[in-house]
Structure 1
């Protein structure tokens, strides 16, 4: 099987999916989601496939996220049907990867953002390298981390996930392991040999053979201020605390957060806190769809994508412009049920 944007390959006992839009940093579109899902369906029933591998074409990274420019045009038109269909298929794929009965190895080499995290960080064997840059940058475009991102980040040690979600910062491979977003650190030069061995040997044995002790996590060393600053359940209070910390990294975080969408920051923080209490990834993804569909109607979503990716003036005009002005009604609406439109995923019964 082959799709222009996803290469579906078989070598020995390995089924290999290559995200193949290198000029777009392998950003996911609807056809790619379908191609990956179809391959997983076929390989689950194929006894000749023992391991699935997901990697990205080109030198820049696994995947820079979803094709948000397409979502931008959907939001501007006021329709939203295409975005909703995309998110439904994407979130179902995220859950499928988490529960897949065969090992899935993901090479989180280079840039792995947004939807790229969704297609990799729910897998059973998650490999990062010295080149990995992993992040959920959604607040910078007036959106909220989705694809199970709040589920993952809410379970990171201390408030590391809150810091990553609100600032949208990209973390290193070592940081990703420390945060629970990845499992194995492999030198990028060893990836071709690792891939070759996956066609002949068990996934667990291969990643253990090539895995190394990761470098120290720089982010973990900053927990002394991160855990204190991000503990409150109010984004405005968090920003105030960051501003009072006498540390360059904390000051940089405050500056970054101050430039993010106030609505997105407020709802992201609420989503993280709610995700901590949800029992499964599936429940987290159900919440993601509720929030995503409401965010599609926020003025900040279209404005954020315009400023960052369409006009590229990097000067979004957020509305409202301050955290204090974000209405409690907007936050409550973001989590309200969808009725018949619910994603309705459920974790398998043990």
Structure 2
């Protein structure tokens, strides 16, 4: 049986719970089984007074976590004409775990070395101490597969300064560790070779059992490892022009029309042009869903955002766009998705709103969050 995640306790009195993702070959992509294992153990640690701190780690030098195993989701969805029980359970348990990380009663540290994308950023984004390295690459690239920025993406993208989360969600652009630090997606950037020393330092901390105090002690412990010279910035280097772009879009009655027009006038920069091409190749339906997602998020609590995401995810699992995007990128690998709509204007208001309607009967599966 494939190993997915390893658990151990470390520290002075076995008071640090460490969960290490070990599915290295597919970049620690998440299966339902991985989510269930993580959930069971993390919930147990959160309820255990002996555990003072939790660490989410990876055994891979290439990735913390590349997100969901979308190929597995694709095959489960395509295996039946009925709605996929696997996909429903995956999204439900993933979002519940992410919410638990965001609202945890004890510090949680994430070792965000290498690729941190999609559901991987969902895990890292919920932690109190998010560590990056020189090789960290952050992205929410769901527009390339016809899904949407989920796993708490509504929350952390809406929190980015100057509306830059809009650009990140629509283009799936990759961010460096320096970007992540400047935008508030990371708390500290360190040398990956300092990992052992960092863990040793954590094990020396005298935890108090008080959340605020323990967070401060961890922050102080990590600060000594912070890099003085950061890797190059990407999005942050274009912050002024992109913030003006988003501001113009938000003031327009035709957000995506304004967005596309502004993109065509961007400077001839490799990173910007790569982001532009990703948007143009991406799903017009995803683009419309994301704009509506961010509009609604303005008046939502964290719990409400996760409930909204679950409604969209269930709809995507029952639609054609998401499976087609995965087929083109990961299954047949022809990189030629046949999207349902040739451009965003073809996506009707009714189609957009349908994605925010529940596909279940009775109470919301995440009704208990925040209550």
- What is the TM-score with the length of structure 1 in the denominator? 0.93
Question: Counterparts of 2:165 and 2:202 in 1: how far apart (Å)?
Answer: 32
1:74 is matched with: 76
2:292 is matched with: 270
Q: Is the 8 A contact 2:146 2:283 kept in 1?
A: yes
State whether structure 2 residue 228 is matched by structure 1 residue 224: no
2:214 is matched with: none
1:331 deviation in Å?
A: 0.6
Structure 1 residues 39 and 329, CA gap change in structure 2 (3 angstroms): same
1:112 to 116, 119, 122: 116
1:320 to 341, 364, 369: 341
1:174 to 175, 178, 196: 178
2:91 is matched with: 87
Find the residue that maps to 2:219 and give its secondary structure.
helix
1:31 to 19, 30, 33: 33
Question: Counterparts of 2:201 and 2:221 in 1: how far apart (Å)?
Answer: 7
Structure 1 residues 27 and 250, CA gap change in structure 2 (3 angstroms): closer
State whether structure 2 residue 328 is matched by structure 1 residue 307: yes
Find the residue that maps to 1:285 and give its secondary structure.
helix
Q: Is the 8 A contact 2:303 2:370 kept in 1?
A: no
1:183 is matched with: 187
Q: Is the 8 A contact 1:14 1:199 kept in 2?
A: yes
Question: In the TM superposition, what whole-angstrom CA distance separates every residue of 1:34-86 from its partner, at most 9, and x where no partner exists?
Answer: 21112122222333322111111222110010111121123323332110111
Q: Is the 8 A contact 1:285 1:345 kept in 2?
A: no
Q: Is the 8 A contact 1:113 1:135 kept in 2?
A: yes
Q: How does 1:250-269 map to 2 (within 5 A)?
A: 250-269=272-291
1:341 deviation in Å?
A: 5.2
1:250 deviation in Å?
A: 4.1
Question: Counterparts of 1:70 and 1:147 in 2: how far apart (Å)?
Answer: 17
Question: Counterparts of 1:187 and 1:273 in 2: how far apart (Å)?
Answer: 38
- After alignment, is 126-135 or 288-297 more displaced? 288-297
Structure 1 residues 218 and 246, CA gap change in structure 2 (3 angstroms): closer
Unaligned runs of 5+ in 2: 206-216
Question: Counterparts of 1:45 and 1:199 in 2: how far apart (Å)?
Answer: 20
Unaligned runs of 5+ in 1: none
Aligned length: 347
Q: Is the 8 A contact 2:18 2:56 kept in 1?
A: yes
- After alignment, is 127-136 or 76-85 more displaced? 76-85
Question: Counterparts of 1:222 and 1:293 in 2: how far apart (Å)?
Answer: 35
Question: Counterparts of 1:7 and 1:250 in 2: how far apart (Å)?
Answer: 39
- What is the TM-score with the length of structure 2 in the denominator? 0.88
Question: Counterparts of 1:208 and 1:348 in 2: how far apart (Å)?
Answer: 32
Q: Is the 8 A contact 1:239 1:257 kept in 2?
A: no
What RMSD over aligned residues (CA atoms) do the two structures have, in Å? Answer: 2.0
Find the residue that maps to 1:342 and give its secondary structure.
coil
Q: Is the 8 A contact 2:57 2:110 kept in 1?
A: yes
1:291 to 309, 312, 315: 312
Question: Counterparts of 2:46 and 2:276 in 1: how far apart (Å)?
Answer: 46
- After alignment, is 162-171 or 339-348 more displaced? 339-348
Q: Is the 8 A contact 1:155 1:276 kept in 2?
A: no
Question: Counterparts of 1:218 and 1:285 in 2: how far apart (Å)?
Answer: 29
Question: In the TM superposition, what whole-angstrom CA distance separates every residue of 1:224-248 from its partner, at most 9, and x where no partner exists?
Answer: 2212223315223211211123443
